[in-house]
Structure 1
Amino acid sequence: MNPMEVERMLARHREWLAKRPRGARLNLSLADLQGYDFSGADLRAAKMSGANMSRAVLVETNLSEADLFAANLERADLSKADLTKADLRGASMRGATLAGARLMGVDFRGGALMQASDNGVGFGGPDGQGNKPKANTSGADLAEANLRGSNLTGSNMNGVNLAGANLSRANLTKVSLRKANLAGADFKGACLRGVDMSLALIDGADFQGADLKGAILEDVDMDSANFTGAELFVDVASFGDTVASILQEHEKWIKTDGREGTRADLAGLNMERIDLSNKDLSGANLKGAKLAGAKLQNATLVMTDLSEADLTGANLIGALANGVNLARATLQKALLTRAQLGQVPLRGPDGKPIGRFWSASLAAADASDADFSDALLKGANLIDAKLNRARLVNANLTDAKMVNADLTGADMTGAQVPSQG
């Protein structure tokens, strides 16, 4: 298009935004704007569906609520642009620069390119004969795009191609990335709290130091990406309806004292990095469960069977786990600060205490390098337990059974230990 013509249209758009009678909403649908410089322009709510803006300069441009449906923004510079609530369904942004851009509430889903005409936008073909063009349902193409530090909060990015994109330090809080291609993408230091990445391809993606608290990762191959140093506690929903249903039934079982619901049986299941903080799993069967990196902070685990479970690096800070069975469990580098791993008074049929106690068991457990600072281990069974290099600072080990327990290199500063003899 003629630059002078575009400038006149921009002037009328400014009038339209100011609600003046001579204004007109900017409509550049299907226009050829390759390499055009819109830096700093106010393009709020502009209609630019299907426009070709490849290699255009849109630095600090306000495109909030703009219609960029199926637009071509390949290799465009959108640094610090405001795209809040813009419609980017089916847009191609391969190699675009969006460093520092605001992308809150953007819709990146796939769509079908429509033909613009004097009668509006319809499914007309390029020959004007009403032939429908091929639909683009793959989502926006942001492959190798630079989105470093951008804000994408709440955006719909289902099916988007972000292969090789740079999203380091970006804010993707509660973004939906279902079925997205994230292969080789850089998410280092990014905020991905509450993100839904179900069915996404993450081969070779880098999530080092990223915050993924509450992320949903159903049917995602976690082993194919780098999560070193990431804060990753996976929402229960990521493990499918079965686990969620079992936990719901267990909650009923607890609340009704066994009259309703069913005791949870999650024995042997792989629930690595699951977030079970504050959950009441008393009496549940988690024998042999894979819970490495799981979050069980402030969970209630009274009389829970976690024997032979893998809790490597798990967070059990403040957990109420009196009478828990952790025999032969792996607790390497687990955090059990302020956890209660003491005794439960046994009661008779009449509900009255019978004078006996059921102790927590860590017999033959591997708790090397674990942190038991300020933990209650009164009367606990620690026979043959590996506690080498463990932190037991100010821990209460009164009456604990510690025959053959390995305490090599353990920090026992301030700990209350069993009396000799």
Structure 2
Amino acid sequence: MLNSWWRGLMAASLVWAIGLAGCGDTQSPWERHVDRGDLLFQQGRFKEAKEQYAAALKEAETFEKQDPRLPRSLTKLAAVHDAQGEYEQAEPLLNRAVNLNETILGDRDPQFAASLSNLAALYFAQRHYEKALPLFERALQVREQALGSDHIDLTLDLKNLAGVLAAQEHYAQAETHLLRALEITENATGPDDPRLVERLNNLALLYRAQQDYDKAIPLLERALAINTKQYGAESPGLLGSLNNLASMLVAQGAPDKAEELLKQALTITEQSFGPENPRLVSGLTKLADFYRLQGQFEKAEPLLASALEINEKKFGPDHEKVANVANNLALLYFLQEKYAQAEPLFDRALAINEKTLGKEHPIVARTLRNYVALLKKTNRAQEAQKLETRIATIEKDS
């Protein structure tokens, strides 16, 4: 069974060249389209960005064959297709960009390696691992030839390769690449550089996927120590390390240490952003979930109630983030057999999800499944059966 950690590992691997250039009256039409497209892309206005990038590509098609703006235009248009899950439209654009970069730049240029990685990442997103792996391997080879075997830029390719291999549960091969990435980074930066934190986290998550907590935990402790030295003991920069380590300690069976870290993360968030900031919801939910797993429902309940109130104030009563917390609080009441308190929260979560996501969405099916469990516990078998029929229809069509 695939583990979810490598999805996060790959999330930052796309190297689309999205960046804003300075605006001025002397810009060419191509530059204006690219700049507008970049701004719209960063704002999440993908349809409009797509129009600008398509116009830039049309301009680039008129340039000389060796002009690097053509593969750049192809890559940018592919990026917006990828962001919308339009993989079939992105693939030919990236294939063409790879071929053009190889012709224009040569097969030992880091930008050629980047175009190979872009195409590989597209295949990875579709779980076409057999297509992604050789492209990532070639990208690593190109960058090694261009920069040397110890250059820190190689760590991106090594991370990508590890992600593909881990997705296929080839953990030993993935470990080799992540250990090399860690060694290269440490040699280039020293033992306390913040850039080591990501490398340590990736390796720890790989060990966690194999339930090898004895190897994972020291890596996360080192990452936390580096972040503490860099940012200070009360900085939001510690939050990722604190949560990662707490999660690992829970899995190892060390709940007392995990609780302390989760409380520390919550305190830092509240002190940094205020008691009503939505960023607090994640910490409240994590600590509540910890208490739920420990059977300490009375400690979890006020945390979820606070999270619900924060989301309501920030996003309004009908937002899907409100539905998520309402569902979690309802489940907590359900586990305590407080069915009268759970039911209106399930009702509310269901109504919001149907309104915001549509009645046939898979999340609606999951909410319905929770509601069915409550109906059965309260001896309403006919109502439960109707909802089960609806769940089956949603899952069949999704």
TM-score range, shorter-chain basis? Answer: under 0.3
Choose 1 or 2 for highest CA Rg.
Answer: 1
Higher RCO, 1 or 2 (CA under 8 Å, sep at least 6)?
Answer: 2
The alignment's TM-score, normalised by the length of structure 2, stands at 0.25
- Bigger proportion of residues as strand: 1
- Bigger proportion of residues as helix: 2
The alignment's TM-score, normalised by the length of structure 1, stands at 0.24
